[in-house]
Amino acid sequence: MRLILLILLAPLLAVAQRQVENPKYKTRQLPTEKQWKEVQNSYNNTIPVLEYAQQDLEHTVVAKQAFKCIHNADTTRFIAFFVDRVDSEHYKFMDRFSGGSRMEYERRKTDTIHYYGYMLWGMKYEGKWYFDKDKSVTLHAANLSEAQDIYLFDALVNIEYFKYIKDFWEGKKDNPLAIATDKNTHRAKYRIPYLGKPLIIENYTLHVAWMREEARDEKALTWFTPAADSLWAQLHRTKPFTCNKRFEEKYHDNKRYILLSPNRDKALVPIVYYDGTGRLWLEYYYIAKTTSGGLFYKWNKIPRKECETALRREFMIINNDIRTLVPDWKSTKRQAITDEAFWQNNFNDTDIQAIQ
């Protein structure tokens, strides 16, 4: 019966046979043909709060990408669905905050286009809006309409929308609208303030706050990355043998080595480079952003050091160096050094030397 239903739905979805046979749907409640048609024909207008969400979430969602916004009667609870091409102007920035995965039934044909989709939960609670962006998925489809159908079907089945369709907005299972309890809130350290409240509040307060800061870092890096490139070009021009070739990691670009200040107006820039003999070195520089441009300095607090070229663990060396000054610093949290004392105490006139 389930296979027959999926086959009946497949033409509506323009979904390949791989989706029909996908084993993950065996444990999920699928929509009836009537339910699916109702979803397709309804909720096609976006709601104004999406523009606010875009601003609140530092553009890690793009309101104009929303093609479906399913909501309760008074629009105080909603799920918005977004799909766009991976070659769009937004994708690179969006992917940075996606926690993405790949759909299992993705088709790999030369006549298909690569898309990505994500969804946003929203809830107005005690007069305030809370949001929770779900991880994105990538998929192939013949066109945008097919990609939207594929993603919408998969997302709604996975969140068990059709299983709880009659009272879905009351918060079922462990979705963000459910009430936080000892069993379904996963951050034990922060649990107490959120018990008895919708999970979306915990998610928004902890995860979205982090995502917002990361997005602001990313925007700051759009200025500091070319500034660091200009610094390197200046070093190479004035000392071509000593600063012969900048090191580049295989899986990371050079902005990974830029460490921002809390106000994002200064940055510590570790530069890893080869000299003319092929030896690998690590040296620290400092960039101060000004209204007229940037000021470049060599940072003398930590002297230049040679790296073992066979190990390729340059960033671990940087981690250890920074921890001598900020013991609890973790680069995995954010691409920043948020300790104000670090910036106040380590960049005095005796610690820095202007690059001429």
pLDDT tens digit sequence for 25-56: 666 788 888 999 989 899 988 899 999 999 99
Q: What number is the average pLDDT over the span 129-133?
A: 93
The DSSP letter of residue 292 is T
Helical ranges in 14-103 per DSSP H: 17-20, 33-41, 49-56, 91-95
Q: What number is the average pLDDT over the span 121-127?
A: 95
Q: Output the CA–CA distances (angstroms, integers) from residue 118 to 4, 135, 137, 234, in the order listed.
A: 28, 6, 7, 42
Inter-residue contact 289 to 228 (CB < 8 Å): no
Start-to-end C-alpha separation, the chain: 76
Name the residue ranges covered by the structural domains of the chain: 2-178, 217-354
Residue 96 has pLDDT above 80, yes or no: no
Tokens matching residue 306 = 């040679």
pLDDT tens digit sequence for 247-278: 887 656 666 678 999 999 999 999 989 999 99
Range in 64-68, 89-93, 103-107, 203-207 the model is least confident about: 103-107
Helical ranges in 204-266 per DSSP H: 209-238
What is residue 292's predicted lDDT score, i.e. its pLDDT?
83
Residue 7 has pLDDT above 50, yes or no: no
Q: Using CA atoms, how far apart are residues 101 and 1, in angstroms rounded to an integer?
A: 30
What is residue 10's predicted lDDT score, i.e. its pLDDT?
52
The DSSP letter of residue 42 is S
Q: Using CA atoms, how far apart are residues 35 and 29, in angstroms rounded to an integer?
A: 12
Inter-residue contact 149 to 75 (CB < 8 Å): no
pLDDT band at 315 (very low <50, low <70, confident <90, very high): confident
pLDDT tens digit sequence for 68-81: 999 999 999 999 99
Inter-residue contact 296 to 228 (CB < 8 Å): no
What is residue 207's predicted lDDT score, i.e. its pLDDT?
77
Query: % helix / strand / coil in the chain, to the nearest 5?
Result: 35, 25, 40
- Residue from 124, 136, 100, 121 nearest 57 by CA: 121
Q: Is the dihedral of CA 318, 322, 324, 328 positive or negative?
A: negative
What is residue 14's predicted lDDT score, i.e. its pLDDT?
44
Which residue matches tokens 């749907």? Answer: 25
Residue 97 has pLDDT above 70, yes or no: no
What is residue 178's predicted lDDT score, i.e. its pLDDT?
82
Q: Output the CA–CA distances (angstroms, integers) from residue 66 to 80, 103, 117, 255, 347, in the order listed.
A: 6, 19, 10, 31, 46
Q: What number is the average pLDDT over the span 58-63?
A: 87
Q: What number is the average pLDDT over the span 90-113?
A: 62
pLDDT tens digit sequence for 9-23: 554 444 434 444 566
- Which of the two residues, 137 and 111, has the higher pLDDT score? 137
Residue 311 has pLDDT above 80, yes or no: no
Helical ranges in 179-208 per DSSP H: 199-203
The DSSP letter of residue 31 is P
pTM for the whole structure: 0.69
Q: Average per-residue pLDDT in the chain?
A: 82
What is residue 105's predicted lDDT score, i.e. its pLDDT?
45
Residue 8 has pLDDT above 50, yes or no: no
Q: What number is the average pLDDT over the span 273-290?
A: 94
What is residue 46's predicted lDDT score, i.e. its pLDDT?
83
- Give the CA count within 13 Å in the CB-facing half-sphere of 265: 6
Q: What percent of the chain has pLDDT over 70?
A: 79
DSSP H or E segment with residue 155: helix 144-158
- Which of the two residues, 189 and 351, has the higher pLDDT score? 351
What is residue 12's predicted lDDT score, i.e. its pLDDT?
47
Inter-residue contact 147 to 115 (CB < 8 Å): yes
Angle, helices 2-13 vs 144-158, to 10°: value is 150
